[in-house]
Amino acid sequence: MWKRSIDEVKRIRKVIRVDRDTPQVGTLAFGIVDRGTNVIEVRPTTLCPLSCIYCSVNAGPKSTNRWAEFIDDPETLLAALEEVVRFKGTMDIEAHIDGMGEPGVYPYLVNLIRGIKAINGISTVSMQTRLYMFSEDELKELAQAGLDRINLSIDSLNPELARKVSGASWYDVDHIKELVSLALELGINVVASPVWLPGINDNDIVEIIRWATNVGLGKGELPPVLIQKYIPHKRGRKVKVRIMTWQEFWEKIKNLERELGVKLTATNEKLNIHKAPQLPKPYPIGDEVKVKIISRGIIRGEFLGIILPIKDSVIHDRVITVIANPHMESILIENQVKVKIIENSDNIYIGKLI
Ligand code: SF4
C-alpha cells in the first residue's frame, strides 16, 4: 500500500533525480549535512508515503507546501561522503541516514548502506525510519549490507491511533513490531524515538517504553527509548495540543524513569557524539554570488541552484536554495542569476535574487 502512496506523491509533485554534477552539500533536501560532529547526516530522498499529523518537514501526499521531491544519486552521495569522512580525519564516524522524508523508501538503500559501510573511518551506520516498508527478506539484506542501528519513529502501539497519527489508513503497527523483533535477531540495534503529543499519546508513550524494554531495544549504552518533545515548526504540520516547556518535558521524563525503572536519557558521551572538524563555509552571509538555477527547490517559491564556479570538491562546492516568485520558474531554470546569501548555518545556504 505504501507504494501506491508514493505513486500518489509522484503524480501530484515534480520528482527531481539529483544528477552527478550536483554538489552534495548546501541543502537539507538531499546529500550531506555536517554539523561539526562525528555524526554525518546522509539524506537520500525527500519522498515519504505517510502524512504524520505533526510532520515538521510537511512531507507526504498531504503536504501543503511542497512542489518538488528529490531522489539523490547513490554513487555521487557516497563519493561525497567519503570525502567528508576523510576531511574529518576521525575513525569513529557515524553515518546517520535520515532526511526530509522516509529513507526506507529510497530505491538504492541496500547499495547505499553497503557503500557507506565500506568507507574507511565509518564505524556505525544508523537510519531513522518507520520500518513498515520492509519485508523480512529486505530487512535481512539491510543487515547483511551493514546497518548497525535503527532509530525507530513510532508514536503509538495502538493500531487505530497509530494510523491516525501517521495520516495513513494502511499503516500497520503490528507488522512493525514483528520487524523490530527480526531486526534484533539479525543483530541490528533498535532505539524507539516517539514524539510525545500531550493529550494524544500520553499512555502510548508508557506502553512504548514497556514494550521496548521487554523486547530488548537499546543495547549497550543506549536507552531503549529516546522520547522527542513535540515542537511546532513554522513550515511543518501543526497539531492542536498544549506545548510542553522544556523544563516540564524533562521533569516528566525523569518521573517516567523513576516510575518504570528505565533509563530514558543519554549523554553525548554515551551516544558517542563528539566534536569533529566541520566543513568550511566558503560563502559568508551578505556575499553576492553567481548561481546557476537547476530546478525547483522543495517548497513552493524555492529554487535550487549551484554556486559558481565549481571546483569538483565537497570541501568547496555548494548548492543553494534561492527564494523567488514561483511564476518565474520558466525564466530561472537553466539560467544564471546573481544571489545574495541570507543564511548559511551548518553550510545550508539560502539566498535571495538580487
Ligand atoms: S514525520 Fe517522517 S514519516 Fe511522518 S510524514 Fe514526516 S517525514 Fe514522513
pLDDT tens for each residue of 184-212: 999 999 999 999 999 999 999 999 999 99
DSSP string, 197-251: -TTTSHHHHHHHHHHHHHHT-S-TTS-SB-PEEP---TTS----SPPPPHHHHHH
Distance 52 CA to ligand 1 centre (A): 5
CA of 189 to the centre of ligand 1 (A): 21
- Tell me the pLDDT tens digit for each residue of 49-106: 999 999 999 999 999 999 999 999 999 999 999 999 999 999 999 999 999 999 999 9
Please tell me if the CB atom of residue 154 comes closer than 6 angstroms to any atom of ligand 1.
Answer: no
140 — pLDDT class (breaks 50, 70, 90) = very high
How far, in Å, are 9, 14, 47, 62, 276 from residue 66 at the CA level? 10, 9, 11, 10, 33
Q: Quick one: pLDDT band at residue 328, thresholds 50, 70, 90?
A: very high
pLDDT confidence bin for 285, thresholds 50/70/90: very high
Q: Is the shortest distance between the CB of 168 and ligand 1 below 6 Å?
A: no
> How does pLDDT run across 230-246, given as a tens digit for each residue?
999 999 999 999 999 99
Share of residues in the chain with pLDDT > 70 (%): 100
Report whether residue 57 contacts ligand 1, using a CB cutoff of 6 Å: yes
Distance between CA atoms of residues 45 and 175, nearest Å: 24
Question: How far is 181 from 197, CA to CA, in rounded Å?
Answer: 26
Q: What is the pLDDT of residue 219?
A: 87
Q: Are 130 and 102 in contact (CB under 8 A)?
A: yes
Q: What is the pLDDT of residue 27?
A: 98
Does the pLDDT of residue 220 top 90, yes or no?
Answer: no
Residues of the chain with pLDDT > 90, as a percent, come to 99
CATH number for the domain running over 2-260: 3.20.20.70
Average of per-residue pLDDT across 41-52: 98
DSSP type of residue 331: H
Q: How far is the CA of 15 from the centre of ligand 1 (A)?
A: 17
Residue-level pLDDT at 343? 98
Summarised one tens digit per residue, pLDDT across range 151-179 is: 999 999 999 999 999 999 999 999 999 99
For the Cβ of 130 lying below 6 angstroms from any atom of ligand 1, the answer is yes
Looking at the chain, the number of H-run helices and the number of E-run strands are 9, 15
Q: What is the predicted pLDDT for the residue at 206?
A: 98
User: At CB < 8 A and 24+ separation, what contacts does 184-188 make?
Assistant: 184/215, 184/216, 184/217, 186/139, 186/140, 186/143, 187/143, 188/139, 188/142, 188/143, 188/147, 188/148, 188/149, 188/150
Q: How far apart are CA 339 and CA 246, in angstroms?
A: 38
Parse the chain into domains and list their residue ranges.
Answer: 2-260, 288-353
Phi, psi of 156 (to 5 degrees): -165, 150
What's the start-to-end Cα distance of the chain, in Å?
A: 45
The pLDDT of 135-163, averaged and rounded, is 98
**On the CB side of 278, how many CA atoms lie within 13 Å of its CA?**
14
- Residues in contact with 308: Cβ distance below 8 Å, sequence separation at least 6, in sequence order: 289, 290, 291, 292, 336
| Mean per-residue pLDDT, 254-279 | 96
319 lines ligand 1 (CB under 6 A): no
Query: Which class is 288-353 in CATH?
Result: mainly beta
Task: Report angle CA 61, 62, 66 to the nearest 5 degrees.
Answer: 80
